[in-house]
Chains A and B, each alone.
Chain A
Amino acid sequence: MLRSLVRLQSHVRKPLGKVCQGSQAPLYSTAASERRKFYQDVSISQGEGGVFEINLDRRKLKTPGGKLFTVPNEALAIAVATEWDAQRDTLKFYSMHLTTLCNTALDNPTERNKDQMISAALKFLETDTVCYRVDEPHALVELQRNEWDPVLHWIENRYNTKDTFRQHLKSYNFWSLTGLEFVITQLKSVVLSLAMIDTHLSVEQAVLLSRLEEEYQIQSWGNVEWAHDYDTYELRARTAAGVLFVHLSSESSTVKRKLMQD
């Protein structure tokens, strides 16, 4: 009995402090790290203030920073719980994007506030992927014009100036901004990110547009599974997680759910 307890303890301590033992120093995993699965049952419960918690067996999940892992609504909690439930023998943290995003929002490792994040997003707009056009070859020039121009026109019609854009971003909460920033850095484009979050584009379309030049090169030089397909799937997974995170953690989605329940 005692031995099995000790064994359990050592298992719990290993997983990079995800289920932290209080005073442990925060330990951030590298992209490819895996840990042995140390739990059987995943459940969610509603804690104080209406927030949701994740339980692994009977232990509460914590962030790498040692905080209690809490999410604002049930949908996000279930999506995170599903990620933990889907792990087989080892925990593949690099495939648990929603968990990672929640950890980032909870721990805020870069210690920035909303205004700084909005300014960063606006600054990114100046170097947006869809604004950088090639001069040659002719086929790619045309491809970029045909594929990127409609999205650019759409965003111009919707947001008009940078000020309206800033105002729009101010309506986001900290969690949604964390998600938005993640999506922007994945797609390297504010325009594509916003078009997707406003449900104008699907994830597949946005990822394709973000990789337009690469797709063009693949057409003439061939596709390599371990590089191109690997990248595409990873980018899709990350982008989808980011968009979902923005929607699930923004105010409008809670209002939306209430409306639908009536």
Chain B
Amino acid sequence: MSPPLRVCRGILKELRASMGQSYRQSLAYNYVLDQFRKNKVTGDRYCRAQQEAHHDSHTYLCLLTATRHHLALHQLYHGKGERSIEQAADMVGLRLPTQPGGKGWEK
């Protein structure tokens, strides 16, 4: 897992990406900074609470990043609803047959 400082920066970066410029006023911004300050490494002593906090922060970063990527891909490929028959045919390189007499000639 990446070092705490990088995780902290990563989380703040993700918060900015999802909330825009006002992210510094958000609850999460202050909470995250607060937590990272409290958990600063003071020595090489093994500390379970610290390790758990690190794992959690890493998990949170993963949640934010994955959600952003997922939403981007969703928007790109699934966000516009179902494609029309013409578009679907076009995707696989086919074209729909045209009706000789125009639409409705069969009546």
Contacts and interface: CB of A to CB of B under 8 A. Distances in A.
B26 A82 contact: yes
Given A203-B59, A226-B76, A253-B56, 14 more contacts: A42-B27, A81-B27, A199-B51, A202-B1, A203-B62, A225-B73, A226-B78, A230-B70, A230-B78, A233-B73, A236-B63, A237-B63, A252-B52, A260-B49
B31 A75 contact: yes
Contact of A86 (B18, B39, B49, B66): B18
A74 B35 CA distance: 12
24 contacts: A75-B31, A79-B60, A81-B28, A82-B18, A82-B26, A85-B28, A199-B52, A202-B55, A203-B63, A226-B78, A230-B73, A230-B78, A233-B69, A236-B62, A236-B63, A244-B59, A244-B63, A247-B52, A247-B55, A253-B52, A253-B56, A256-B52, A260-B39, A261-B38
B15 interface: yes
Contacts of B52: 199, 247, 252-253, 256
Secondary structure type dominating chain B contacts: helix
Contacts of A204: 62
B32 to A, nearest CB: 9
A78 B28 contact: yes
Contacts of B56: 244, 247-248, 253
Interface of A: 32, 42-44, 74-75, 78-79, 81-82, 85-86, 92, 94-95, 97, 199, 202-204, 225-226, 229-230, 233-234, 236-237, 240-241, 243-244, 247-248, 252-253, 256, 259-261
B63 A241 contact: yes
Interface of B: 1, 15, 18-19, 26-28, 31, 38-39, 49, 51-53, 55-56, 58-60, 62-63, 66-67, 69-71, 73-74, 76-78
Nearest to A243: B59
Given A226-B77, A233-B73, A85 B62 contact: no
A202 B63 contact: no
A252 B60 CA distance: 18
Nearest to A261: B38
A78 B19 contact: no
Contacts of A225: 73, 77
Nearest to B58: A202
Contacts of B51: 199
Contacts of A79: 28, 60
Contact of B26 (A85, A237, A259): A85
A236 to B, nearest CB: 4
Contact of A78 (B27, B38, B59, B77): B27
B27 to A, nearest CB: 5
Q: Which are the 7 A-B pairs with shortest beta-carbon distances? A: A240-B63, A236-B66, A237-B66, A86-B18, A233-B70, A226-B77, A199-B55
A229 to B, nearest CB: 6
A111 B55 CA distance: 32
A85 B19 CA distance: 7
Contact of A244 (B1, B60, B70, B71): B60
A91 to B, nearest CB: 12
